[in-house]
Structure 1
Amino acid sequence: MTAATTPTIAAEPVKTQVPGMIIEHNVAVTMSDGLALRVNIYRPDKPGRFPVVMLHGPYGKDTPDAEAPAYQDAWKKLLIKNPELCKTSSCRFIRWEAPDPERWVPDGYVILHADSRGSNASPGLLDPFAPRHTEDYATLISWAAHQPWSSGKVGLLGISYYAINQWQVAARRPEGLAAIIPWEGAFDHYRDVSHHGGIPSTAFQTMWFARQVAINQHGNGETPYRDALTGAVATGTPLPASLLRVNRIEPAEASLRQPFDGAYYHERTPDGARIEVPVLSVGNWGGQGLHGRGNIEGYLAAGSAQKWLRIHTGDHHAPFYAEDSLSLQKRFFDRFLKGEQNGFDSEPPITLAIRRPDGVIWRSESEWPLRGTQWEHYYLDTAGGGLAAGKAPAAAERSYAAQGEGLSFTTAPFTADTEFTGPVKLKLWVKSSTADMDLFATLRLIDPKGHDVTFDGASEPHAPVSQGWLRVSHRRLDAERSTEARPYHPHLVAEPMTPGQAYEVDIEIWATSIVVPRDYRLALTVQGRDWELPGLEGPFKGSGPFLHVGRDAALYGGTNTIASGEGQESYLLLPRIPTSR
């Protein structure tokens, strides 16, 4: 962007004072290439140096949740689930997926919220996952650590995008970074975000970018958003649409140009071994498609000597603001930013919400996969549609139309409550009438009346137990990184199928937790398209927004076949947790 076309933002920051808090608005911070990004600083109205909790992203640091059209449903659910929230805070400063300054500043923290390059008040190229943005974040962290109101210790906090870029910047080890809380994010940019089992997941990327990112692009005169503090257009002086378009890179388009896991994704996936600060990784069992796998992968990959994993369930937004969550976040930062000896070091490394149809039971664990896990093979029977532990049935095979309902395999009713918590693997023997096939595997819970039991997930109110995906031409395994419980595909080349020939494939189904009550059953559905719960209308039908559209109908719309039984054993590997360990 030239000087003549750069939208203008007030050269001097606007200082706004509220009781107990000073707000410095649109402070300019210069990056390594000379570009200035804009930040809001919320700090205690008293002398002293305070630890900094910060976030950096594209959603607009000045757009209130309550006024943003894209967030209205989430805002309503947030208030229903946290009815006291706006009694303990004015809620004026809550931004999407960000901590509320009014609940942090009184406890001696500075909240710093930065508009990332190309968004809201910050000029530049809008490319949310680019390494340049990670470099900017590192610069901001070090800048914050050296300010006169800063103690020199910086922690990172936020949901989703704000969790993803925590992992990325932590691997750069910027000066001042002292602890991170990546809350429902992603870690592996290829496997968690852009491709599932090698299948492009572009529907969500397109929707997310249009509704939540491009609308906040710097210079977007069509934005409906206004700066909550000044009332001005939050994105600066409008630019022509042609200039806006060339000044952004849309993730869905970029990922379609990069079908294999190469340099593009490696630049966006952190080297976990380089992460050395304390980590509290918080995931969601109902986060299939974006917010489940990454928190476990990040926790396992992090080189930090002090790290914790916590997995809850429920929707994506409201739990972050709940009182128990706020207390957890503050205890962690009180320990690692303030140095308080509050016992957090002695917390169990893993805390899990063990799901049941009627709620959850919290439990502490010491290792992943869980200590005492008994791996059980549930064999598919294509002849009768069964799914049973024991030995493989007689050899058989069955075909289905790839874009149809697929095949479902169901267990007998369980005779006692049975828990499965951990990674899940599906091994299949498959054929296709075409040179490739996409496999969509859905693990479901069925009640005694034959109805699906679904769960309120991160982005889907009718989520199944878990899901997994694989493009069969990506079937090759990385022997060093695969385990018996979790296959790892390098996704470096496509190896077409010979029509009619059988192939052995392993599918990673994202880790889960479910207690199957007595008289309930498990079901596995395998098909060539995204799973939908029958009878639902609207955008949420079981797989949320993480759909896999735009695939070649001729290549991925053929007739698929699953083989089972002796010599071609197809099975589901489940992590059973004994009642006494």
Structure 2
Amino acid sequence: MVIEWDAPITMDDGLVLRADIYRPVGGGEHPVLMTHGPYAKGLSFQEGFAFAWMQLAREHPEALEGSSNKYQSWETPDPEIWTRDWGYVCVRVDSRGAGRSPGYLDCFSPRETLDFKNCIEWAGVRPWSNGKVGLTGISYYAMNQWQVAALRPKHLAAICPFEGASDLYRDGVRHGGILTSFWIRWYPAQVSSVQHGLGARGRINHNTGEPIAGPETLSPEEMARNIADLPGQHLGNRFATDAYFAERTPRLEDIEVPVFSRGNWGGIGLHLHGNTEAFLRVGSRQKWLEMHGDTHWTEYYTPGGRALMRRFFDHFLKGEDNGWDREPAVQLSVRLPNEKFLTRKEGEWPLARTQWTRHYLDAASSALVAEPGSDASVEFRGFSQGHTFYTPPMLKASEITGPVAAKVFIASSTRDADIFLSLRAYAPNGRELLFQGASEPNVPLAFGWLRASHRKLDAARSLPYRPWHPHDEEQPLVPGEVHELDIEIWPTSIVLPPGFRLALTVGGEDYDHQLPGPLVPKAPPQYGGIRQTGCSIHVHDVSGDRPPEVFDGTATLYTGGKHASFLLLPVIPAA
């Protein structure tokens, strides 16, 4: 490869961002794959995210073959595969204020998105470019693809967001209006730790010998002035319509380029809903959805996962007639117990043959039943796991694949309540069926959340299986009065064998699977080592957002009669 370190890209306001460019030898014009973000392009995958690298090497050694892995960087393509072997130019840009790029660091801001657009247009007219730029990458490098694609850069030809939220408020920061602490832990661990200006105080790029967050070394006071207060931004902006979130939420309908959206059933706290929702809403006439399992990063690096992306980009960036345009719109790794998957291609999402099936909650029997029962109720404390309802054992194999929703009738002793829904599965021996999640090893089927004061629906955008809350105002509860809540539960997929049961837990705090044994696995150390409970790092424990005097009251769940609470499941009939 020909490697150009710290290539300058001048923005419209005169600030210069820095990019590493990996080009095939021999000159000529080539398609471009670009990433742009705050994780420091010079930080190696192996050093910055050793826990993930070791797991990938241990469980999928084939993902590391065919490369020296010297240029691997977290959540970005390996240039030894994409450039040396497959003929793409890989461009990694440190976003404003991060890594080797100076400036004010403000994640997902309009300024950062405009910078990304400028970088795309710059790459599209380089002598080594064929004029077609594709976007790829995981997580942050997927989320900002939705943002910049909505600006319609002239040279943008295709995007492949891999496990990336498309609505910062709903998918990532405030689930159902409830603030998650993930970003507050993530910010110092992954962003300010590589802020531009650390210089000699930071890490070194082992390929260049240069500081990854330099070259200059700024004082702590200067650096504090150059970075946004993200925890304050998240705590201080409570509604989706607040300017902070509104200007960071793309109009997905404005995206016109081909889209290959790749999501993970196990991304139930951040990276799942964004991929399915964006697939439905983007304006692109050419769009595909792929859903898989395993960890957050695995299928991006495995040979099979890379081959899917290569076919997509070869078709739209190189013009190859490889049959990609004739592929069905949806490819699902349908999940079975014990981390087994059945790959199946479909024509649409949700599946047209879905049998939307109600299971009614019965507080008298703690059951999920086919018809509403008599009036009943059950109380639970606000900060508690709440109450669980079970189906009878399955008489035959049953597939649940698609979006899920619930309607519950709730009263609270206070003016508000946070409702946490957990969709679960149990084996005949009574043991809960747990799965490898995107960011922890034991997750249930799906989660849903709603702050009761955010229960207002947008009737025009709501669907039976996906209620849409505008999150534009607070409507306090009347203590003791019953209120109707429609709650979205993120999509899932499972084929349950005969004898297995489904369950729904309705509670007031994050799910906790309570693994047996004296030791409970910890989250990766950069996220504070919080206990893994099935939610991993996506928990809702910000005290300023959930004052006990409001949210730790007594909640009462009503079922049956005129308060027929129910769970809506996407049942897929056997072929």
TM-score of Structure 1 vs Structure 2, range by shorter chain: over 0.9
Residue 192 of structure 1, aligned match among 165, 171, 188: 171
Residue 566 of structure 1, aligned match among 561, 564, 574: 561
Q: CA deviation at 1:542?
A: 0.7
Verify the 8 A CA contact 2:259 2:288 in the aligned structure 1.
yes
How many angstroms apart in 1 are the aligned matches of 2:139 and 2:200?
26
Partner of 1:244: 223
Partner of 1:11: none
1:33 and 2:13 matched: yes
Partner of 2:326: 346
Residue 73 of structure 2, aligned match among 86, 95, 103: 95
1:447 and 2:447 matched: no
**Cα distance per residue 1:207-266 (max 9 Å; x no partner):** 111111110100125754211322222111221212212211133320211101113212
- SS of residue matched to 2:100: coil
1:365 and 2:357 matched: no
1:127 and 2:93 matched: no
- SS of residue matched to 1:420: strand
- SS of residue matched to 1:300: helix
Letter in 2 for 1:452: E
Instruction: Give 1:191-210 correspondences, 5 Å limit.
Output: 191-201=170-180, 203-210=181-188
How many angstroms apart in 1 are the aligned matches of 2:137 and 2:199?
27
Q: CA deviation at 1:269?
A: 1.2
1:117 and 2:117 matched: no
Query: Taking every aligned residue pair, what percent have the same amino acid on both sides?
Result: 47
Residue 572 of structure 2, aligned match among 567, 570, 577: 577
Partner of 1:374: 355
- SS of residue matched to 1:40: strand
- SS of residue matched to 1:104: helix
Letter in 2 for 1:438: D
Verify the 8 A CA contact 2:163 2:264 in the aligned structure 1.
yes
How many angstroms apart in 2 are the aligned matches of 1:470 and 1:223?
43
**Cα distance per residue 1:494-535 (max 9 Å; x no partner):** 011111100011010001111121101111111111111113
1:278 and 2:273 matched: no
How many angstroms apart in 1 are the aligned matches of 2:569 and 2:200?
50
Instruction: Give 1:281-300 correspondences, 5 Å limit.
Output: 281-300=261-280
Unaligned 5+ segments in structure 2 are 523-530
Verify the 8 A CA contact 1:77 1:318 in the aligned structure 2.
no
Residue 53 of structure 1, aligned match among 29, 33, 56: 33
Question: TM-score normalised to the size of structure 2?
Answer: 0.95
Cα-Cα RMSD: 1.1
Partner of 1:3: none
Q: CA deviation at 1:404?
A: 2.1
How many angstroms apart in 1 are the aligned matches of 2:62 and 2:292?
21
Q: CA deviation at 1:86?
A: 3.5
Verify the 8 A CA contact 2:334 2:495 in the aligned structure 1.
yes
Verify the 8 A CA contact 1:414 1:518 in the aligned structure 2.
yes
1:80 and 2:72 matched: no
Residues 362/250 of structure 1: CA separation in 2 closer, same or farther (3 Å cut): farther
How many angstroms apart in 1 are the aligned matches of 2:295 and 2:145?
21
How many angstroms apart in 2 are the aligned matches of 1:231 and 1:79?
26
Verify the 8 A CA contact 1:216 1:223 in the aligned structure 2.
no
Question: TM-score normalised to the size of structure 1?
Answer: 0.94
Partner of 2:155: 176
Verify the 8 A CA contact 1:155 1:333 in the aligned structure 2.
yes
Residues 537/107 of structure 1: CA separation in 2 closer, same or farther (3 Å cut): closer
Verify the 8 A CA contact 1:372 1:577 in the aligned structure 2.
yes
1:496 and 2:476 matched: yes
- SS of residue matched to 1:84: helix
1:160 and 2:160 matched: no
How many angstroms apart in 2 are the aligned matches of 1:126 and 1:40?
19
How many angstroms apart in 1 are the aligned matches of 2:138 and 2:231?
21
Instruction: Give 1:302-451 correspondences, 5 Å limit.
Output: 302-358=282-338, 359-389=340-370, 391-451=371-431
Unaligned 5+ segments in structure 1 are 1-20
Residue 512 of structure 1, aligned match among 478, 492, 501: 492
- SS of residue matched to 1:77: helix
1:232 and 2:224 matched: no
Verify the 8 A CA contact 1:167 1:182 in the aligned structure 2.
yes
Partner of 1:17: none
Partner of 1:22: 2
Partner of 2:128: 149
Verify the 8 A CA contact 2:205 2:212 in the aligned structure 1.
yes
How many angstroms apart in 1 are the aligned matches of 2:302 and 2:149?
26
Verify the 8 A CA contact 2:202 2:212 in the aligned structure 1.
no
How many angstroms apart in 2 are the aligned matches of 1:372 and 1:85?
36
Letter in 2 for 1:394: S
